[in-house]
Each structure stands twice: as C-alpha cells, then as structure tokens.
Amino acid sequence: MNPASRMQTLTVAARFRGPPSSSNGGYFAGLVATLAARTLEVRLLKPPPLDTELAVRELADGTLEVRHGEEPIGAARPAVLQLDVRPAPAYLEALEASRHYAGFRHHRFPSCFVCGTQRVRGDGLRIFAGPLGERGVVAAPWVPDSSLDGGDGKVRPEFMSAALDCPGYYAVAPDDRMMLLAQFTAHVDRLVYVGASCTVVGWHIGSSGRKHEAGTAIFDEQGVLCGRARALWIEPRAAAVASETAVPRG
C-alpha cells in the first residue's frame, strides 16, 4: 500500500460470497493482501458484508484495519508463511478424490463461491475436495475459467487465495461440524494459467480445543507449487458442545 495514501477501500461483490450474506474468507483475505501487495496474516473479526464499501486503513506499524463505518471487520499484518507443504497428488488422483466430496451429501453453504455445489461452471470455482486414501489429505481438481483472468491469461491473486480456503475446512472437519475461519495467511508463488488443470490439496496441521489449523496448496499441471496457505478454524462454543454430545453417526 502506498505510504502516501493510508486509506483505501474494497468491496466484495455478491458473487464472491461464502455464506449467503458475507464474503468467502479466502477471497476477502486475498483482496486485502492484493491491495497491500504483500503477504499478510489476515484475521476475520466479523463476516465481511457483500456489495458494501469497506475502508482499509494502514497504521504506522504496518498493520491494516478493515472497517465498515466504525465496525471492525478484519485486521492484517505483514507475515512470512511457515508451512510444510504436502506432496502434490496426480491430477487423476485428485479427480477421483473429489467424487467423495462431503459437500455432495450435505452442504452448509451450497452457494459458496469456492466449494458450493449450486454454483455452475464459469460462476463458482467448484473446488470439491474429497479424502485421498492414506495420504492424509483432501484433494480436488481445479480448472480456472476465463472470468478469473487478470488480463494476462493468468488467474488474479485474490482468486488464488479463495481457492486455498475451503479445502482446509474439509481437511479439519470431515464430520461437517460447524467452524468459522478466524485467520488466513496465503502466499502466491506463481499465478496459474486460465484453463490449466490444477490440483488443490488440504491437510490437518493440528488442533487445540476448539481451534483447528489447516494447510492448503495449489499445484499446476506439472505439479509445481503455485500457492499455499495456513488457516485457523474455530468451532463456535455451542457447536463444539453439540459435537461432543451428539450420537455418533453409524
């Protein structure tokens, strides 16, 4: 962000929703990082509203605040992403894994831009990450469409960030328990090409109480790492209690 301009704005169009009335978290984090032109650790404090101008202010210490009026929506700070990336599966392996995507059975947010089953090709990303055998990852194929083009035949960075979001949820919540994205740090190594046969993977890093960490990565057609992210997902207290007391599904 230009030091001479400490205030900028961003708006999340309704197309890029996660839940029906708020932004997909990875897309929102990607917009903020793109505005700042650096890798950021983005904290989501409130669901980012749709079709609403949000103010982005850079503080003297480099921290960014995203606000809707006086209401804090997000906060971000410069970061260096530390992540041990899992090896890339073959594209056909990812294709087979996606057939077992949990969202085909039940989906909390079927209109999600990234993983929603109600989004058609050319509208949503349709990244359906399913479990991949004994590898301990979820994986999905992804062929970016032309609406994601940054003007040079490559996918815009905020869409790379979005693609890195939802596979992390399915890596830490195979039982479909309710979780909220609390923190997201994405780093784009290289932009993938529109129309390329990419593979997206997600894996569980660790858990502590209601907090669960996930890693995600995007690989291109040659299996080259193109983007990676680390996410913190948190179970709301009520949902955590419900999952502990629920009768196991047989």
Residue found under tokens 């903020």: 32
Same domain? 119 vs 201 = yes
- In the chain, the largest separation of any two C-alpha atoms, in whole Å, equals 60
Determine, yes or no, domain membership for 246. no
Summarize pLDDT for 71-84 with one digit per residue, the tens.
999 999 999 999 99
83 occurs within a structural domain: no
User: Which of 56, 78, 100 is where one domain is finished?
Assistant: 78
Does residue 223 share a domain with residue 172? yes
**Total structural domains within the chain:** 2
- The tokens 């999600």 sit on which residue? 112
Of 26, 54, 78, at which residue does a domain stop? 78
Give CA–CA dist 69/192, Å, rounded.
36
Indicate the pTM of the whole model: 0.92
The CATH number of the domain holding residue 186 is 3.10.129.10
The answer on 224 and 158 residing in a single domain is yes
Q: Structural domain of residue 61, as residue ranges?
A: 7-78
pLDDT digits (tens, 9 = 90+) for 172-182: 998 888 999 99
Closest CA to 185 of 72, 80, 37, 34: 80
Residue 111 and residue 60 share a domain: no
Indicate whether 152 and 199 sit together in one domain: yes
Write the CA distances from 8 to 50, 156, 233, integer angstroms: 17, 19, 28
For residues 123 and 176, state if they share a domain: yes
DSSP 144: -
Are residues 128 and 180 part of one domain? Answer: yes
Task: Yes or no: say if 202 and 168 are a contact pair by the CB < 8 Å rule.
Answer: yes
Q: Side-chain half-sphere of 138: how many Cα atoms within 13 Å?
A: 29
pLDDT in tens, the chain (250 residues): 444 346 899 999 999 999 999 999 999 999 999 999 999 999 999 999 999 999 999 998 889 999 999 999 999 999 999 999 999 999 999 999 999 999 999 999 999 999 999 999 999 999 999 999 888 999 999 999 999 999 999 999 999 999 999 999 999 998 888 999 999 999 999 999 999 999 999 999 999 999 999 999 999 999 999 999 999 999 998 754 444 323 322 2
